[in-house]
Amino acid sequence: MKSLLFSYKDTCQVSENEFDSVLKKIESELQKIAQARLTRYESVYASINLPNDYRVHAKIIELADKKKKLKISSIVVIGIGGSNLGAMAIYEALYGQDYNEQKCDIKVYWADSIDSDYINNIFQSLEKELENDREILLNVISKSGRTTETIANFQIFLELLRRYRPHNYNEFVVVITDQGSPLWRLAEKNQFDRLSIPENVGGRYSVFSAVGLFPLALLGLDIKKLVDGAQYMVEQSSSSAFYENPAAIIAGLLYVSYRKNIYISDLFLFSKDLQSVGMWFRQLLAESIGKECDIQGNSVNVGITPTVSIGTTDLHSMAQLHLGGPNNTFTMFVSIKNNKSRLSVPFSKEPEQLLSNINGKSLSVIMNATLNGVQQAYFEKKRPYASVVIPKKDEWYIGQFLQMNMIAVMYLGYLLKVNPFDQPEVELYKKETRKILSYE
């Protein structure tokens, strides 16, 4: 099986006439996406050309191999938002949420907060590594090169590294940023290895650039398989045949639903390992579509609120609202066809069995039965949804899934007449933060 399994026709509450109207609106954008594949990084759609930039992939793998020779025991990825969510999502999807408790060659820490206690816990773990004469790597990522949270954490960990490795600390730092940014210039001055982010690739679209690929390559993932899966989805999602284009269909579903006052998009993930994929998607949709003004400068206050649910856990907290509350949510169910484990409920001969219908069944069978039951309940209550089945958790399919959603959001921005590539209000809070800190 080569593709994700995507179904929506009988459950999405969108008619053929409504889809046909979307097709008419989106035809020119389908052509632009197809054309952008020929322009490398010159257009605003630059990120769709990341998966086939084999020259950059080779450079990333070369640098990762160079750092592996240093016998790295831990890497701390210092970034926030688009600078680390994609890599974290992919790593956790493939290795699970307890990856550092497994026998990994390299432990990974995500310094994506300025919560003092959280960062201090990472700090203490890294200090123990250094005290025991093991090596750590700092991978600092900031597109602008001056993200407050990232630079604060970088300075803290860099000082720790300098204290224990005063003569060669620069060998244990990799900087990923825009070429010419303040962080880039600092890297040049200190002789840190550095990788650049293409100018027209924004943070939330950057997972298949060095931003995501370098730490994943260092951690042992097959990044060729990952980008090949993404490239396969670029081809599928740039097709001018609307009904064969999964990204265009997803955009159409969300657009028509939004026009019907369905303002919430819930990504319902029936796999705990995909929880960070949900966090990645939340940023992608919220930051790309939530806009005060349209592309012509008119005040529109457009937005779709992304939520993330985890099956079956959140059935015991959110199902009542989704099935009994306002009909204002479009749900995308995501499940895994083939899990890695085959854990089953033991067969019991006790006469007082608590629940006889699960006797001897695998947890995967029970999970799938629950998912099917939930979807049937949604159907009966006329709650709109679509579903994606990921054949298995590997680089090929996870690459497809992330790429499909990025292109879908591009199409959705066009349909809603907003710019899906900027984030002006985010810049506003950053400006105010710097102003406050300058007086503290």
pLDDT digits 0-9 by tens, 110-122: 999 999 999 999 9
CB atoms within 10 A of CB 308: 19
pLDDT for the residue 427: 77
**Catalytic residue positions?**
287, 316, 430
Residue 89 near residue 280 (C-beta atoms within 8 A)? yes
At residue 224, the pLDDT reads 98
User: CB-based contacts of 386: which residues, under 8 Å, 6+ apart?
Assistant: 6, 7, 8, 11, 12, 250, 253, 330, 331, 332, 333
In this prediction, the residues of the chain whose per-residue pLDDT falls under 50 are none
The pTM is what? Answer: 0.95
Q: Determine the pLDDT at residue 353.
A: 64
Residue with tokens 């066809």: 337
Q: What angle do CA 282, 81, 411 make, to 5 degrees?
A: 50
Q: Give the tens place of pLDDT for each residue, 18-53.
A: 999 998 899 999 999 999 999 889 999 999 999 999
Please return the burial class of 54, using the count of CB atoms within 10 Å of its CB with bins 0-12, 13-18 and 19+.
exposed
pLDDT for position 332? 98
Domains by residue range for the chain, with CATH: 5-35+226-424 (3.40.50.10490), 46-221 (3.40.50.10490)
Q: Residues 287, 93: contact at Cβ < 8 Å?
A: no
